[in-house]
């Protein structure tokens, strides 16, 4: 059976590996298709397309949007959108600077706590990509302020921790419209982490195309539960490793979640139907 991994992060957001390295690993792991879904960024997936041609691997345009609704953060996975779409390009450009300003505020709060790390060093760790809290955690670990990457979040960077700063975000409804307007498909990411079924059904009504059923944080009971919701509501299914690369000597997780290629074929079929105007449902009007 052929497998895919549709949830991978590169060094263009908070991942460790470059797009070219991800393609090399995907080839070694015999994956037929992948998607680099960097946080609010698409430069990694653009570069991956060039490397993938030489290895015969399908690269699906992807992004992970950070959105927020009342009481919780909602991550949306967008696939097969037009990477040259003006709205998408404007969104990723704005978020580059939004994340940079947020990181500056976090560093400032750390300074107030007596932790004197520099923003320049954080930016160096981001290596030109969008800056995220993991880059700050890396610096805290490197400078000896914490014992581990996880310790940085538990002490300072996690939600409700002393250096936490909420990032301005769009709503899930706005995220769905953004991807749809660029011709793509929208999935809710790792719903078992913090999303209620009530919120899922609300987003289905807003045009959600699918659910990330397969994820490292999903127990077998979660997989079965979200599979049932997807099938009962004519939703597509996706999944992946949510690989960020090795931190704290952890192995790469890419390809460790077996997601059959057949799910990607169903995505292609649905997309073709949408583009030809054959899909009319109660959760997506075309």
**Sequence-separated (6 or more) residues with CB below 8 Å from residue 123:** 100, 103, 131, 135
User: What is residue 127's predicted lDDT score, i.e. its pLDDT?
Assistant: 86
Q: 142 pLDDT exceeds 90?
A: yes
CATH class of this structure's domain 3-84+171-275: alpha beta
The pLDDT tens digits for 7-63 are: 999 999 989 899 999 999 999 999 999 999 999 999 999 999 877 776 789 999 999
The pLDDT tens digits for 46-59 are: 999 877 776 789 99
Percent above pLDDT 90 for the chain: 77
User: What is residue 56's predicted lDDT score, i.e. its pLDDT?
Assistant: 83
> Taking the domains of the chain in order of start, what are their residue ranges?
3-84+171-275, 91-157
Q: 277 pLDDT exceeds 70?
A: no
User: Is 55 buried (19+), middle (13-18) or exposed (0-12) by CB count in 10 A?
Assistant: middle
Q: 72 pLDDT exceeds 90?
A: no
Q: For residues 140-145, give the mean pLDDT.
A: 95
The beta strands (E) that lie in the chain are given as: 3-8, 33-36, 58-59, 62-69, 72-79, 185-188, 210-214, 236-239, 259-260
User: What is residue 282's predicted lDDT score, i.e. its pLDDT?
Assistant: 44
**Pairing of β 58-59 and β 62-69:** unpaired
**Using CA atoms, how far apart are residues 157 and 137, in angstroms rounded to an integer?**
8
Domains 3-84+171-275 and 91-157 share a fold: no
Q: 285 pLDDT exceeds 50?
A: no
pTM of the shown model: 0.90
Confidence of residue 286 (pLDDT cuts 50, 70, 90): very low
The pLDDT tens digits for 89-106 are: 999 999 999 999 999 999
User: What is residue 278's predicted lDDT score, i.e. its pLDDT?
Assistant: 56
Tokens of 152: 């940085």
Domain 91-157, what architecture? Orthogonal Bundle (1.10)
φ, ψ of residue 8 in degrees (nearest 5): -135, 140
Confidence of residue 248 (pLDDT cuts 50, 70, 90): low
**Pairing of β 62-69 and β 236-239:** unpaired
* 12 closest CA partner among 129, 122, 113: 129
What is the widest separation between alpha-carbon atoms in the chain? 60
User: What is residue 171's predicted lDDT score, i.e. its pLDDT?
Assistant: 96
**Using CA atoms, how far apart are residues 66 and 155, in angstroms rounded to an integer?**
23
* 47 closest CA partner among 7, 91, 38: 38
User: What is residue 250's predicted lDDT score, i.e. its pLDDT?
Assistant: 52
């Amino acid at each position: 059976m052929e497998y895919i991994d549709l949830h991978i992060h590169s060094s263009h957001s908070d991942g460790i590996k470059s797009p070219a390295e991800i393609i090399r690993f995907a080839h070694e792991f015999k994956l037929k298709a992948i998607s680099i879904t960097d946080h609010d960024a698409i430069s990694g997936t653009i570069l991956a397309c060039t490397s993938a041609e030489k290895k015969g691997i399908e690269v699906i345009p992807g992004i992970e949007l950070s959105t927020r609704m009342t009481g919780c953060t909602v991550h949306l996975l967008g696939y097969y959108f037009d990477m040259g779409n003006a709205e998408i390009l404007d969104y990723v450009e704005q978020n580059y600077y939004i994340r940079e300003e947020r990181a500056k505020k976090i560093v400032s709060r750390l300074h107030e706590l007596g932790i004197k790390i520099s923003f320049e060093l954080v930016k160096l760790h981001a290596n030109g990509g969008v800056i995220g809290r993991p880059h700050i955690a890396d610096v805290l670990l490197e400078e000896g302020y914490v014992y581990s990457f996880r310790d940085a979040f538990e002490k300072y960077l996690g939600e409700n921790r002393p250096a936490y700063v909420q990032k301005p975000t769009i709503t899930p409804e706005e995220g769905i419209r953004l991807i749809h307007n660029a011709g793509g498909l929208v999935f809710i990411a790792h719903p078992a982490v913090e999303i209620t079924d009530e919120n899922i059904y609300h987003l289905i009504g807003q045009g959600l195309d699918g659910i990330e059923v397969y994820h490292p944080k999903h127990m077998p009971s979660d997989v079965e539960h979200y599979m049932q919701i997807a099938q009962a509501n004519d939703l597509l299914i996706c999944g992946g490793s949510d690989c960020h690369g090795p931190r704290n000597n952890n192995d790469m997780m890419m390809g460790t979640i077996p997601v059959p290629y057949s799910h990607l074929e169903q995505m292609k079929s649905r997309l073709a139907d949408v583009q030809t105007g054959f899909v009319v449902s109660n959760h997506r009007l075309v």
